[in-house]
Amino acid sequence: MHYMVIERFKEGAAPEIYHRFRARGRMMPAGLEYVSSWIDHDFTICYQVMQTEDVSLFSQWTAAWSDLMDFQIVPVRTSAEAAARIATEPKQQ
């Protein structure tokens, strides 16, 4: 299953986030996989797509970063998956 992870950096934390990332990597437990990410131009928010079959792994991962950022984790599906699911539902009148 895919998840959109929205990381909101704490005030002035961006340099330390990148320093920690260079030193220790993403620090993700086995079974939690990084797909891709985008950072806003102000270095305050990271939008990250991840996948896992065990949503409980997010708590282990976020614990390693919670001093520097806050997290919102949203289950998502691809557009193709959404279209296929809607196609099987009865048409509403």
Question: What is the topology classification, in CATH, of domain 2-87?
Answer: Alpha-Beta Plaits (3.30.70)
φ/ψ of residue 9, rounded to 5 = -70, 140
Rounded Cα distance between 11 and 68, Å, is 8
Tell me the mean pLDDT in the region 78-91. 88
Q: Which runs of E-coded beta strand occur in 27-80?
A: 33-39, 45-51, 69-76
Q: What type of residue sits at position 62?
A: T
pTM metric for this prediction: 0.87
Per-residue pLDDT band for 30 (boundaries 50, 70, 90) equals very high
Going by C-beta distance under 8 Å and a sequence separation of 6 or more, which residues neighbour residue 18?
A: none
Rounded Cα distance between 9 and 18, Å, is 11
